[in-house]
Amino acid sequence: MSNLGQIFGSNVFNDAVMRERLPKATYKALKKTIEEGRPLDPAVADVVASAMKDWALELGATHFTHWFQPMTGITAEKHDAFISPTADGKAIMEFSGKELIKGEPDASSFPSGGLRATFEARGYTAWDCTSPAFLKDDSLCIPTAFCSYTGEALDKKTPLLRSMEALSKQALRVLKALGNTTTNKVITTVGPEQEYFIIDKKLYDQRKDLIFTGRTLFGAKPPKGQELEDHYFGSIKERISAYMKELDEELWKLGISAKTKHNEVAPAQHELAPIFSTTNIATDHNQLTMDTMKKVALRHDLVCLLHEKPFAGINGSGKHNNWSMGTDDGMNLLEPGHTPHENEQFLVFLSSVIKAVDEYADLLRVSAANPGNDHRLGANEAPPAIISIFLGEQLQDILEQIENGGATRSKTGGHMEIGVTTLPSLPKDATDRNRTSPFAFTGNKFEFRMCPSSASIAGPNFVLNTIVAEVLSEVADRLEKAKDVNSEVKAILAEYVTKHKRVVFNGNGYSDEWVAEAEKRGLPNIKTTVESIKALISEKNIAVMEKHGVLSKVELESRYEISLENYIKTINIEALTMIEIAKRQILPAVIKFATNLAASINTIKATGLAVDLTVQTELLTEVSSLAAALKKNIAVLEDAVEKASNAHGDTYKQAELFRFDVFEKMGTLRDVADTLETLVDKDVWPMPTYGDLLFNI
């Protein structure tokens, strides 16, 4: 590997490159747009485009593409060569400001949730200059937002950018009201920890379920799972290590600060975390990270699985979304300092987050919902489906003091004595960690731990930004009007803490007692994706999204439709894949096995010897009756799929059919097949088993 300092960001049109290649005035104008949100001058775009093109051509690029994030949840790109033919039969390389700023992909095939009929195919991409352009393969990629002819957002980036502006605006009002005169902008920061599985490509290729759905739809529990906890933070195998090394290098070239890598809890599971950055860039980078993870794996004859639950019976994958608010003059608004009880500003922001999470728990829940995550949330490996906040001992204590009339002291951690004189005495954090909380305060940020591993983090973040902006706007309204800001702050803190402490829970989120306790407290427990989607169109949620200009009612209705359709399609594909595998692979294998058994019984009988044949006959009887059950359950599932597929009209009702009928029946079919797997000769079983997939590298 070459020098890390040299390769980091080498494929990015970043600040250093811009400073070097742009005329001073252009650079300054562009920076004003990036940093202060000033509108972009079209003349500037021409100059930037030309510099970008020269830079990209020097690095071997031939094409450019507007890179965007439609509602499929993955990224989209359409490549155009830089060439422009000349009269003498040659070509010159061109790239104008117009091409940089605006693109017009024929967008008819992207999900729009009814926002746009297919005959009205126009969609536009608009340059997001706050996220740097980069080079991928032979193309200059320009991060863009994607919207319809009428200006409605058709992507993940647009609401995210809108929400960042909303939060900045409201947070600034609060800061000003508290007497801050130096801050000009508040930025939300995010560091997403990405979990993933790596398996051997040869085995992957033999599993239709992995190929079509990203998860195993069949598979008996292997003798060994994760019970020994020997994989977590374990020493990394050479083949995986070589993969991780190349992955890191590819990410560094893209300016992605891949920082931490380790083995995760489940066998074959790993994690990568970057250093946090601005939400917008973190979101783009996370999309690129997922893309690169998959691509680099193939180079090593490996496959990277990003599905939330590729394997039953062992942990699935999530994405911890570490989130905070920072200022342009370097403050972290969620930094409590050594004496948080005196840190009024911190307490205002903290209690605003608490109120926002309590009042809009349903929006946060839907932001972390997808079909894959339904296998995790509430399943004792991921946080429960109930949204609650972990604050830890120190802050909990301060909240109690606030409730009882005012905070006067902060508990400290002190020192930890390990009991060996040669080991250093370690300063102890004021608070322990909590693994079971969906929304945990971790020192100077919140960690939203519910997010699905395969999904964009745009959704969770625009929801967080918007709901916090809403509460901050209420705080600002009160502080701006207050005669005495200090006593108003005290009143706000006391009110927010008293009213919203129900969402704070520092105990074991995996326990049954918590489910009962949460119900008593009136906290929503939304168990499935389908049910969670309703939150997108509730009056209260439409109001908050519209008020802050993040999504309009029409846009939310379109997202409601898209989410339901996505659910329906996903389960439909899974069910059809199950049927195909069960019918054409498992059943024939079982019949073959049974036939072999029968033949063996006959052959032995033909010898005329008085041999005990009970093993063979019992096995044959058991396998044959399970085969009959398999056949029956295939038919039952086929019927359910047909019924659900034909239930047009109300998308919500159709999604319910897929969840509560089709999905349930898939489980029954799987149980029968998995039992058969434990009985049938491994040599005739038509696909690699869990043991093969998870312990082969």
Binding residues vs Mg ion (CB under 5 A): 320
| Contact flag: residue 219 with ligand ADP (CB under 6 A) | no
| Contact flag: residue 200 with ligand ADP (CB under 6 A) | no
CB of 355 to ligand ADP, least distance (A): 20
| Contact flag: residue 324 with ligand ADP (CB under 6 A) | yes
Write out the H or E segment, with its range, that includes residue 171: helix 157-177
| Contact flag: residue 275 with ligand ADP (CB under 6 A) | yes
- With tokens 């407290």, the residue in question is 521
DSSP letters, 507-569, are S-TTSHHHHHHHHHHT--B--SHHHHHGGGG-HHHHHHHHHTTS--HHHHHHHHHHHHHHHHH
Q: How does strand 318-327 pair with strand 389-390?
A: unpaired
| Contact flag: residue 332 with ligand ADP (CB under 6 A) | yes
Q: How does strand 186-200 pair with strand 318-327?
A: antiparallel
The residue among 175 and 407 lying less far from ligand ADP, judged by its C-beta, is: 175
Residue with the shortest CB distance to ligand ADP? 191
The residue among 286 and 410 lying less far from ligand ADP, judged by its C-beta, is: 286
CB of 411 to Mg ion, least distance (A): 23
Rounded to whole angstroms, the Cα distance separating 334 from 652 reads 39
| Contact flag: residue 263 with ligand ADP (CB under 6 A) | no
Rounded to whole angstroms, the Cα distance separating 39 from 48 reads 15
The residue among 26 and 461 lying less far from ligand ADP, judged by its C-beta, is: 461
Residue 694 contact, options ligand ADP, Mg ion, none, Cβ 5-8 Å cut-off depending on partner type: none
Rounded to whole angstroms, the Cα distance separating 604 from 612 reads 10
Burial class, 229, CB count within 10 angstroms (exposed 0-12 / middle 13-18 / buried 19+):
exposed
The residue among 320 and 355 lying less far from Mg ion, judged by its C-beta, is: 320
The residue among 279 and 563 lying less far from ligand ADP, judged by its C-beta, is: 279
The residue among 62 and 444 lying less far from ligand ADP, judged by its C-beta, is: 444
* Cβ(199)–Cβ(697) below 8 Å: yes
- Token readout for 396 is 């909990």
Rounded to whole angstroms, the Cα distance separating 601 from 583 reads 26
Rounded to whole angstroms, the Cα distance separating 153 from 555 reads 7
Say which residues have a Cβ less than 8 Å from residue 256's Cβ, sequence separation at least 6: 274, 285, 288, 289
| Contact flag: residue 13 with ligand ADP (CB under 6 A) | no
Rounded to whole angstroms, the Cα distance separating 72 from 69 reads 8
Residue 617 contact, options ligand ADP, Mg ion, none, Cβ 5-8 Å cut-off depending on partner type: none
Say which residues have a Cβ less than 8 Å from residue 423's Cβ, sequence separation at least 6: none
| Contact flag: residue 255 with ligand ADP (CB under 6 A) | no
What DSSP state is assigned to residue 235? P
Burial class, 282, CB count within 10 angstroms (exposed 0-12 / middle 13-18 / buried 19+):
buried
Residue 322 contact, options ligand ADP, Mg ion, none, Cβ 5-8 Å cut-off depending on partner type: ligand ADP
Residue 445 contact, options ligand ADP, Mg ion, none, Cβ 5-8 Å cut-off depending on partner type: ligand ADP
CB of 263 to Mg ion, least distance (A): 15
| Contact flag: residue 190 with ligand ADP (CB under 6 A) | yes
| Contact flag: residue 274 with ligand ADP (CB under 6 A) | yes
Q: Of the listed pieces 167-175, 187-195, 499-507, 668-676, which binds ligand ADP according to CB under 6 A?
A: 187-195
CB of 663 to Mg ion, least distance (A): 30
The residue among 260 and 621 lying less far from Mg ion, judged by its C-beta, is: 260
The residue among 172 and 256 lying less far from Mg ion, judged by its C-beta, is: 256
CB of 281 to ligand ADP, least distance (A): 12
Rounded to whole angstroms, the Cα distance separating 44 from 27 reads 9
| Contact flag: residue 191 with ligand ADP (CB under 6 A) | yes
Rounded to whole angstroms, the Cα distance separating 157 from 128 reads 9
> Number of residues in contact with ligand ADP, rule: CB under 6 A?
17
Residue 375 contact, options Mg ion, ligand ADP, none, Cβ 5-8 Å cut-off depending on partner type: none
Q: What are phi and psi of 111, to 5 degrees?
A: -60, 130
What DSSP state is assigned to residue 192? E
Q: Of the listed pieces 160-168, 268-276, 310-318, 673-681, which binds ligand ADP according to CB under 6 A?
A: 268-276
Q: Of the listed pieces 135-143, 216-224, 439-447, 640-648, which binds ligand ADP according to CB under 6 A?
A: 439-447
Q: Of the listed pieces 107-115, 122-130, 269-277, 286-294, which binds ligand ADP according to CB under 6 A?
A: 269-277
Residue 273 contact, options Mg ion, ligand ADP, none, Cβ 5-8 Å cut-off depending on partner type: ligand ADP
Rounded to whole angstroms, the Cα distance separating 615 from 679 reads 12
- The sign of the CA dihedral 68, 70, 73, 74 is negative
Out of 50, 131, 139, 322, which residue is the one contacting ligand ADP (CB under 6 A)?
A: 322
Write out the E strands in 312-372.
318-327
The residue among 113 and 383 lying less far from Mg ion, judged by its C-beta, is: 383
Q: What are phi and psi of 60, to 5 degrees?
A: 95, 10
Q: Collapsing DSSP states into helix, strand and coil, what is residue 21? A: helix
The residue among 446 and 663 lying less far from ligand ADP, judged by its C-beta, is: 446
Q: Collapsing DSSP states into helix, strand and coil, what is residue 679? A: coil
What DSSP state is assigned to residue 505? -
| H-assigned helices in 360-437 | 361-367, 393-403
Contacts 24+ apart (CB under 8 A), 484-487: 485/177, 485/178, 485/179, 486/344
Out of 46, 99, 128, 193, which residue is the one contacting ligand ADP (CB under 6 A)?
A: 193
Residue 274 contact, options Mg ion, ligand ADP, none, Cβ 5-8 Å cut-off depending on partner type: ligand ADP
The residue among 320 and 445 lying less far from Mg ion, judged by its C-beta, is: 320
Residue 676 contact, options Mg ion, ligand ADP, none, Cβ 5-8 Å cut-off depending on partner type: none
CB of 313 to Mg ion, least distance (A): 23
The residue among 191 and 371 lying less far from ligand ADP, judged by its C-beta, is: 191
* Cβ(451)–Cβ(370) below 8 Å: no
- Token readout for 638 is 């086929």
For ligand ADP, the binding residues in 445-474 under the rule CB under 6 A are: 445, 447
Bridge partners for 274 per DSSP: 258
| Interacting residue ranges for ligand ADP, rule: CB under 6 A | 189-191, 193, 260, 273-276, 320, 322-324, 332, 444-445, 447
